[in-house]
Every structure is written in C-alpha cells, then in structure tokens.
Amino acid sequence: MAIIVCAGHSNRGEKFTPPGGKEYVADTDPLGYPNTAVICYIDDCENPGLVWLEKWELDALKNPPHRLVFPIEGGWSKVKI
C-alpha cells in the first residue's frame, strides 16, 4: 500500500523506508501537487505529500492499464480540507 510523505521528509528519486516499515521504491506527484489535499503522514507536518509506491504499485502505474488509484497504508496519511 502507498504512503504519503512530503519532500522534506523524503528524498525524491530515491527509495524510502519509514521506521519499521516497507520499502517504497518511487515517488510520484498526487493530483494537483503541490496544491493538493494530500498531506505528509508525519505527525507535526502539514506539507503537501508525495505518493510513495511499493514495487508492485509502480509496475501497475507504468504498465497498461496504468492504474491511477492506490490504497494508502492505514493511518499513514492526512487530508487537508
């Protein structure tokens, strides 16, 4: 499942592994980024988030039918309203 992390708490273009978590292999901009309602999962952070994908999700994004909707890891996302 995808995770939402801002550019300040991750390194774009590199892999990302949260403490005790899965390895995410790529990041992508959510719809409307940086003017998005998707917010970094870090507790005290309110920056726009990037969508970090696992390997299977990246494959699903790149290959037909180009999946564009992904579940978010439980409790690891926030939404700005």
With contact defined as beta carbons under 8 Å apart, do 38 and 77 qualify? yes
Exposed / middle / buried, residue 28 (Cβ in 10 Å: 0-12, 13-18, 19+): middle
Query: What would you report as the CA-atom Rg of the chain, rounded to the nearest whole angstrom?
Result: 12
pTM of the model as a whole:
0.89
Tell me the per-residue pLDDT of 11-39, one tens digit each, with 9 for 90 and over. 999 999 998 889 999 999 999 999 999 99
Buried b (16+ CB within 10 A) or exposed e, 33-70: eeebebbbbbeeeeebbbbbbbeebbebeeeeeeeeeb
What residues make up the domain containing 78? 1-81
Number of domains in the chain: 1
Tell me the per-residue pLDDT of 68-81, one tens digit each, with 9 for 90 and over. 998 888 766 788 86
